[in-house]
Structure 1
Amino acid sequence: MMKQAVVNFVKKVSLAELFYDLIFVLAISRFVNIFEHDDHSKIVFQDFLKFGLVLISLINVWVTKTIFINRYGRDTFVEKLFMLIDMAIIMYISYSINNNWEESFTRFNLAFSFIVFSFVAQFIYFLFANKEACEYRKAFYIHISFFSVIGIAIASISQLSYSVGIYPAIVILIITWLVPHFIRFIVKEKPINLPHAIERLNLLTIIFFGEMLIVLSHYFEHLDWKGILAILFCGSLFLYYTLFFDNMIDHHKGNKRVYWLFFIHYLIFIALSLLSLDFEFSIHNQLSLTLIWVICYIALIIYVLCLFVILYLFGKPQYRFNLIYIGSTLWILGFIFGIGFINIGYLFYHFCLTSSLAVIMVIQLYAFIYSKKDTQKQINQEH
């Protein structure tokens, strides 16, 4: 009974957390700098790898902070002070995001070591200041030890050259991404509050959509009709996301799989960032229209499949998709992707197709939700 009460308790998202998210508006807007070469050379595959590494690094920071506040945060003055310190470091990190990694590698990693040490300080403070933390003392000791080692390792790597240091940096990134989520299997940790976690992830997703809108604003300098279609596309994708979380996801399902919710949102953030970058590439003619079309569809498929998986893990039983719905959605995606190659050299044609696709998916999902609600209403009336 006590466990169920913990699961169903809705922890309020504080104004300080919303303020903290604002620094990621700056960080996300800096991703495009990775693809801007000083010598105006072509975008290469390595640029996308760098983009992925930077995005995962920053989201790691956000997730670590969010889970910590989710478990132990009380919106105190000291917590807000730690947030301001972290925001200052993230701002410095954001201005280290560029294409010239040979020059920015040292300061980027050194700044990251500072934010890791900030996490260590926060764990130590809460261990002694929060009585509730005593029950999870072993978990605190493990986190303090883990982040201390990681901080020292990152600081050491920052003193290496880019050509040598990049490989251990990638290994450390993977470790910091995965290990904290598996500590719960070793020692007892306070359960994550699912409603709070969902709300925090929803808010960060909105920030990624906001970055897409900022990119699309370029089309409205001269009232380009592609901008109208792009806004329709962006708005439909957002509505598609909200239909899942407002209607179909059970916010009190339990917290055993909550880590999967965070992992899946990493992919959603990558997909939304790729779509924003894709619009940026089309505006500045940085890639061929064929590549722009392919990247757009890779991002769309990732986005849709991630929401399908979230529904499978956290969905209300009556809203589970059947194979017919999943198959029809994938068929629509594949069909429109295929006909996009008919007139691959015409960008306006692509905008028409993608905006139409997004609207179709929203209508299809809304019809599915409405039919399930109608069925449930009939069942309730019979009983």
Structure 2
Amino acid sequence: MNDLVTKKVSLIELFYDLVFVYMISQATGLIHHLHNGVIGLSTFSIFALVVILFINSWMIQTVFINRYGNDSWSNKLFIFINMTVVLYMSNSFSSTFNHQLTPFFGAAALLSLTQTMQYVIVYLKTTQNADKQITLAFSGILATRTLALTIGAAVQNQLGLLAALLGIMISWIAPSFTGKLTVRRPIIFSHLLERVTALIIIMFGEMIVGIAEYFTQRTVSPYSLLLFVLVALLFMTYATEFSDLIEEKQGRETGNRLIYLHYFILFGLSLITVAIKFIHSTNANLIFSVGCLYTGLLLFYVGILLGGIYNEVSFKIGSGRVCWIIGFTLLGWGGTLQLKNATEIIFITVVVALLNLLILARIGQNSTFRQKIQ
């Protein structure tokens, strides 16, 4: 049975993740800069564009390895090439839509080309009709992105920029329409789950780096401890859903839902990371900072709740719990809008995160109790 098939995450995959640690740090750095107390629309748009392109590339590589990856030297060579390209890309974007994005688009086109080649090689080698159709579809998606990004790098005007943006969005959205093909060659769910979990761990690592400045001899305070507790509670919330409640033995899964719901979590954690600094900064608009924090929390919890579709039958998240989690988050947002003190704002946010964690944790406890009395 396919749902019993497993695949071990290889060391080369973990090595590949290291360049994305740096990428996430660089991308998040874009939205650390404020203009008149807020993040500029152009800056945030570029941040979203960069994150979507990087994470989409990471996801495509991960799904390729999940289905077709092996320990061959050719696969390792492609990964090493992609790592060098990602490192260059991480240092080649700016906070404005101008010609400075040309090197970024050019490098992204090269990354797209190498990923296209990986799928083309499998297409030429495989004798399975399902695999031929899947690899042909992804080759087409990636080839389209390669062409669009090449135009974006070569044509340094609004037309080139539009072509690049269109290519990025197509490659991000198009895989969601491949379900009828990919279900014929389901992903190994446990492997994909472990990989996306590793990506989220990287995001939490970025949060830890972000709060580290509050743990020096000069800055350590109750505020510092509250920040750490908040990060820990969010991590435990993620772990409760994607480690304790989820059913790893999924059959006939394309992985699309698991992948796309994690974009909510990724963007949510990114916003929370920068909001933590904004709230304590005199240069930031406090209402904007609180809005950034709670928008991030809502995105995070939406991703968590969407993940409930994969839970074991006895661990399903009911509509009542969904309402409580969203309700507590909105209530916390409303309550903090009246506050001016950063410590008080984070304290209320910690309470919200704790209550929401308890709601999720109770699902597993109630199920275990019911099983014992039956």
Relative to the length of structure 2, the TM-score reads 0.92
CA spacing shift, 1:252–1:184, aligned 2, 3 Å:
same
Aligned residue runs from structure 1 range 216-255, under 5 A: 216-221=211-216, 222=218, 223-255=220-252
* Number of the residue aligned with 2:266: 269
Mapped pair 1:288 → 2:292 = no
- Structure 1, residues 141-184: CA drift from partner, whole Å, max 9, x if none? 34334423431221112122354433222221111012234234
In 1, are the aligned partners of 2:43 and 2:96 still within 8 Å (CA)?
no
1:139 and 1:368 map into 2 onto residues whose CA distance is 38
* Number of the residue aligned with 1:156: 151
CA spacing shift, 1:198–1:302, aligned 2, 3 Å:
same
Range with greater deviation from structure 2 (287-296 or 154-163): 154-163
- Structure 1, residues 25-79: CA drift from partner, whole Å, max 9, x if none? 0000012342466999963222222211111111110011000000011122221
Range with greater deviation from structure 2 (296-305 or 164-173): 164-173
Q: Pick the aligned partner of 2:23 from 23, 27, 33.
A: 27
Range with greater deviation from structure 2 (55-64 or 140-149): 140-149
- Structure 1, residues 87-141: CA drift from partner, whole Å, max 9, x if none? 000000000132144242110100000001111222233345x557676223333
Amino acid at match of 1:279: I
CA spacing shift, 1:114–1:318, aligned 2, 3 Å:
same
* Number of the residue aligned with 1:335: 331
1:229 and 1:38 map into 2 onto residues whose CA distance is 24
Range with greater deviation from structure 2 (30-39 or 175-184): 30-39
2:42 and 2:27 map into 1 onto residues whose CA distance is 14
1:323 and 1:134 map into 2 onto residues whose CA distance is 41
Q: Pick the aligned partner of 2:208 from 205, 210, 213.
A: 213
1:165 and 1:69 map into 2 onto residues whose CA distance is 32
2:326 and 2:145 map into 1 onto residues whose CA distance is 41
CA shift for structure 1 position 18: 0.7
Q: Pick the aligned partner of 1:110 from 106, 112, 132.
A: 106
- Structure 1, residues 239-272: CA drift from partner, whole Å, max 9, x if none? 0111112221111132346211101111111111
CA shift for structure 1 position 187: 7.8
CA shift for structure 1 position 198: 0.7
Mapped pair 1:58 → 2:54 = yes
What is the number of equivalent residue pairs in this alignment?
A: 372
Residue ranges of structure 2 left out of the alignment (5+ in a row): none
2:43 and 2:132 map into 1 onto residues whose CA distance is 42
Identity %: 24
Range with greater deviation from structure 2 (106-115 or 349-358): 349-358
- Structure 1, residues 281-319: CA drift from partner, whole Å, max 9, x if none? 3355442111111111111111112211210x2111111
CA spacing shift, 1:302–1:335, aligned 2, 3 Å:
same
* Number of the residue aligned with 2:63: 67
Amino acid at match of 1:78: S
* Number of the residue aligned with 2:88: 92
2:207 and 2:114 map into 1 onto residues whose CA distance is 31
Range with greater deviation from structure 2 (332-341 or 38-47): 38-47
1:260 and 1:271 map into 2 onto residues whose CA distance is 17
1:137 and 1:95 map into 2 onto residues whose CA distance is 36
CA spacing shift, 1:367–1:123, aligned 2, 3 Å:
closer
CA spacing shift, 1:258–1:144, aligned 2, 3 Å:
closer
2:24 and 2:142 map into 1 onto residues whose CA distance is 24
CA spacing shift, 1:119–1:294, aligned 2, 3 Å:
same
In 2, are the aligned partners of 1:126 and 1:133 still within 8 Å (CA)?
no
CA spacing shift, 1:183–1:366, aligned 2, 3 Å:
closer
* Number of the residue aligned with 1:278: 275
In 2, are the aligned partners of 1:33 and 1:97 still within 8 Å (CA)?
no
Amino acid at match of 2:25: S
* Secondary structure in structure 2 of the residue aligned to 1:238: helix
CA spacing shift, 1:89–1:296, aligned 2, 3 Å:
same
